[in-house]
Amino acid sequence: MTLERNESIECPSCHQSQGMVLWDSLNVTVTPSGKKELLEGRLNVFHCEKCGHQEAVDIPFVYHDMDLKFWISYFPVDSLKDYDFYLLFEGNGQQKLPAAQSEIIDILGEGSAYMNMQHIVFDMDEVLRYVIFREVLAHQQSGAAARHPFLDP
């Protein structure tokens, strides 16, 4: 599921307010356009139209690729100091799934078992690196003749 919302953000530098789109989650299979923003480092990054100040809006973010079957959950690093944050997880480090999601896995069966294996990260750059890792890996294992463009920039 892709969840994006419009928020009014006040510039931390010049205090001018402006609207921007915040992404809580991005399903790249459904919303490929969001991936470009992520790869260009613009996703959830505030850019002030008045003074040019640029700053990440540090909110949790989920990246989900249904084709390659992986998902990444990003949490702001300050979450690590929050007692309640740890209540979201099972003992094996996986996030407790909402009941609805558990049911989907039951219905879809084996192919959706990956939804029980999130890659949890505390750095947005790590989201990018893991996406590249999985995409190059999938490309190489697909038996494609040409090398993935990332290997030959």
Residues that bind Zn ion in the complex, under the rule CB under 5 A = 11, 13-14, 48, 50-51, 53
d(CA 22, CA 62): 12
Write the DSSP string, 48-96: -TTT--EEE----EEEEETTTTEEEEE--GGGGG-GGGGGGB-TTSPBP
Within 8 A by CB and 6+ apart from 55, the residues are 12, 45, 46
The nearer residue to Zn ion, 16 or 102, going by C-beta atoms, is 16
Kindly state the smallest distance separating residue 17's Cβ from Zn ion, in Å: 10
Kindly state the smallest distance separating residue 107's Cβ from Zn ion, in Å: 48
Kindly state the smallest distance separating residue 53's Cβ from Zn ion, in Å: 4
The nearer residue to Zn ion, 16 or 140, going by C-beta atoms, is 16
The nearer residue to Zn ion, 12 or 41, going by C-beta atoms, is 12
